[in-house]
Amino acid sequence: MFAWAWPWPTSGWIFYAVLVFSWTVYLWEAYLAYRQRRIYRLTLQVPQELGKIMDTDTFEKSRLYQLDKSNFSFWSGLYSETEGTLILLFGGIPFVWKVAGTVTARFGLGPEYEIFQSLSFLILATLFSAFTGLPWSIYNTFVIEEKHGFNQQVLVTIYADYIAPLFDKFTPLPEGELKEEIESMSKSISFPLTKVYVVEGSKRSSHSNAYFYGFFKNKRIVLFDTLLEDYSPLNKDGEPETDTLTEDKSKLKNKKQGCNNPEVLAVLGHELGHWKLGHTVKNIVISQMNSFLCFFLFAVLIGQKELFMAFGFYNSQPTLIGLMIIFQFIFSPYNEVLSFCLTVLSRRFEFQADSFARGMGRASELCSALIKLNKDNLGFPVADWLFSMWHYSHPPLLERLRALGSTKQD
């Protein structure tokens, strides 16, 4: 009687299963990106629905910008996947852990001081990631973004992304028609509005945004200055000294950024729809349930020696390494499925919020606002159906316009 045995130990199967799944996901993503790049390359004319709304020059700029970003994403993604595979194959994780132990030992801290070795490991891993990722970041910022006119940095990324938001200037929206309309709209759906602010987001980014925050009966609305046509610095900087030339007026019109008051109200109607329909609460509940499930499974799996052995840890089971192995590698299939499900749910919420704004009688203004914001951000209005289904948490522009029942500009 012969007993059949696995050619590899359990740890070996785990290791190679992780590698195979990782490359499977990468190849799937690469295939989707290829489909979308074909759209960028072959769609040379403005879609018929947008023919009277989007000019050819803006469409072409958007197409080339997205094509450059897609090509860059392909090469950076290939490098990242290859780097990750080599790190696993050559035992990079246990090697860095050993180096971290050597560093802490120089301070008289032995293996029993796991928390200090974990901190040292995190620092070393972060430095390595920053070093290998810096050339890609520099190329993206100073070549691609510069080429398309989005780069306004002189190596101030950290300041712009992390420090400046702490000191953003929030100015109360002045009394006037817009504020009165916002307050009236909030009251009509029982939104407990207490304050309306304008934030100088233009100092950090040209992207437009609006959001609300606060607990219970103390809600506040924040509008980015780039969202408001009357506040956007681009419009002020672009004002011609004289309006005698029709050509100058035409150029100014094309350069205008942001939305007029009715369009701003339509955007807020969409955002308030998320609140009224309970989307924010639903997302919080889903997030909390997912966190509970993940940490429950982590508690079950953390004691499995085979997981640590699969990644080169034969004599120890550090908690930090366990977190990395379980959340980054073992949960990968679950995370991919969950991410797709949340993307589908997000798109559904966006359609519902659009429908809510339409129910408030603001469909036409919302269509116009979506088109303007898409143009301001050089968004490309055409998307491959499979690529957008997998990646887009917000439906493509044309889908939203069709759902709103109008693709024509009044």
Residue ranges for the known binding site are: 270, 274, 350
Cα distance between residue 5 and residue 9, in whole Å: 9
Which H helix or E strand runs over 286? helix 279-301
Q: At what angle do helices 279-301 and 332-359 cross, to 10 degrees?
A: 170
Taking alpha carbons only, the member of 328, 294, 326 closest to residue 307 is 326
CA distances for 27 relative to 24, 75, 83, 86, 184, angstroms = 5, 13, 15, 17, 51
- Write a three-state SS string for 197-249: EEECHHHCCCCCCEEEECCCCCEEEEEECCCECCCCHHHHHCCCCCCCCHHHH
Which residues lie below 8 Å from residue 23, measured CB to CB, with a gap of 6+?
81, 85
Residue spans of beta strands (DSSP E) within 233-360: none
Residue type, 242: T
Report the binding-site residues for Zn(2+): 270, 274, 350
Residue type, 232: S
| Residues catalogued as catalytic | 271, 354
The dihedrals phi and psi of 370, each to the nearest 5 degrees, come to -60, -40
- In the block, residue with structure tokens 């560093």: 103
